[in-house]
Amino acid sequence: MTNLLIGAFIRNPENTSSPSVRRRYGNFAGIVGIATNLVLFTMKIIIGTLSGSIAITADAVNNLSDSGSSLVTLVGFKISGKPADSGHPFGHGRMEYIAGLIVSFIIVIIGYQLIVSSVQKIIEPQETQYDIYVFIVLVVSIAIKVWQCLFYRKIGKKIDSLTLMAASSDSRNDVLATAAVLLAAVVTMLTGMNLDGYMGAAVGLFIVISGIKLTFETISPLLGAAPKKELVDRIRQKVLSYDTIIGIHDLSVHNYGQSECHASLHCEVPAEQDVMHSHDIIDNIERDFLKEGIHLVIHLDPVVTGDEKTNDLKARVESLVEQISPRIGIHDFRAVWSITHTNLIFDVVVPYQFEWSDKELAMIISERISELDPTYHAVITVDHDDMKYKN
């Protein structure tokens, strides 16, 4: 059914890399969410009022808040699609992350309110009256929420949207909440034990925990989460595929929404190569990446490749560093030879949460290099990255 709806309402549905297609997906998901949740709210508020069930009434309010969340999603995708302006030169794509964060806050608030209402029902129990219509509404509600969960997840994965994945998790929580209400109604009807309040409190606690987890997940990209390994590998492999590119390092990726990716890196090229030729290759790489939606800026690093003495020394230093820890590597190696001493200038790539401080590691490497030859003097710059970019 989801595929039929997508085919009917989304033009060029497979072109998910297009910002306009992503917005259409987001707008479509928001409208569907608003409509279905309003239908569920109307059914449950009527049944909850007639039966006197606080759990059903709370579940109805939860569905009303879901309509609000869908509205937030709709507005978030609308704003995120605005073009760049003087105040926001990188566009408004991160508004989608903010929309996801708002949805997460709403989930936590609704869960808390459900706990409070349920505790009041436990302290002051009220008689509830169940009939066949209650069970029909709850079963239909569960079926719709299961479809919603799968619907949001399918589209969320298709366009890589944290907001829609959060909405999918919220719909899954709603399935559990309504199922708990249904179970409590069945037990009460068969045994006379009023579990309405207890079941509502348990479901509310689950929703709060889930909402807090989603909050942290949506905050991460706003704080500047590390790029996905698949993206890093794709950039690295593509850049290294160009002629005379020896290696890359210092790759940095910044996402301003799913459709606005900016990256920078250093490319190593032979120092003996004509600088205009090297510059032309760099320009071609940047233009090719822009066609894929990645704004790439490259710093050109000339590397001496014809000096056997320097290359041999570099290999010895690389081996030495590898022995200290296989988690670290070097780049931008240069040797400045003189009569009394030789300066070995290079950067060390160190992962975050490494066992030694930058100062301690630099001292260890310097001491090992001095053991190779007392006239060697290491000038070390420490770079932090969880991935080594080696040739």
Residue 52: left (phi > 0), alpha (psi -120 to 50), or beta?
left
Closest CA relative to residue 385, chosen from 238, 249, 223: 249
Question: Per-residue pLDDT tens for 190-244?
Answer: 887 877 778 778 777 877 887 788 788 778 777 777 777 788 888 988 999 998 8
Which range of 79-83, 108-112, 311-315, 349-353 scores highest in mean pLDDT? It is 311-315
Helix (H, G, I), strand (E, B) or coil at 337: strand
- Determine the number of helices (DSSP H) and then strands (DSSP E) in the chain: 11, 6
Residue 28 half-sphere exposure toward CB, CA atoms < 13 A: 23
pLDDT of residue 389: 43
pTM of the model: 0.60
* Strand pairing class (376-384; 342-350): parallel
**Choice between 361 and 101, residue whose per-residue pLDDT is larger:** 361
Would you list the DSSP string of 213-270?
HHHHHHHHHHH-PPPPHHHHHHHHHHHHTSTT--EEEEEEEEESSTT-EEEEEEEEEE
State the amino acid at position 216 in one-letter form.
F
The architecture of the domain spanning 2-223 is Up-down Bundle (1.20)
Q: Please report the sign of the dihedral spanned by the C-alpha atoms of residue 134, residue 137, residue 143, residue 148.
A: negative
Average pLDDT of the segment spanning 343-369: 90
DSSP 8-state code for residue 256: S
**229-384 CATH fold:** Alpha-Beta Plaits (3.30.70)
Examine the pLDDT at 340 and tell me if it is beyond 80: yes
Question: Per-residue pLDDT tens for 21-48?
Answer: 877 888 888 889 899 999 999 998 998 8
Phi, psi dihedrals of residue 130, rounded to the nearest 5°: -110, 140
Closest CA relative to residue 253, chosen from 227, 228, 218, 231: 227
pLDDT of residue 386: 54
Phi, psi dihedrals of residue 329, rounded to the nearest 5°: -150, 175
**How is the chain split into domains, by residue range?**
2-223, 229-384
Q: What is the Cα–Cα distance from 364 to 145, expressed in whole angstroms? A: 59
Examine the pLDDT at 390 and tell me if it is beyond 60: no
Q: Does residue 12 contact residue 19 with C-beta atoms inside 8 Å?
A: no
Helix (H, G, I), strand (E, B) or coil at 83: coil
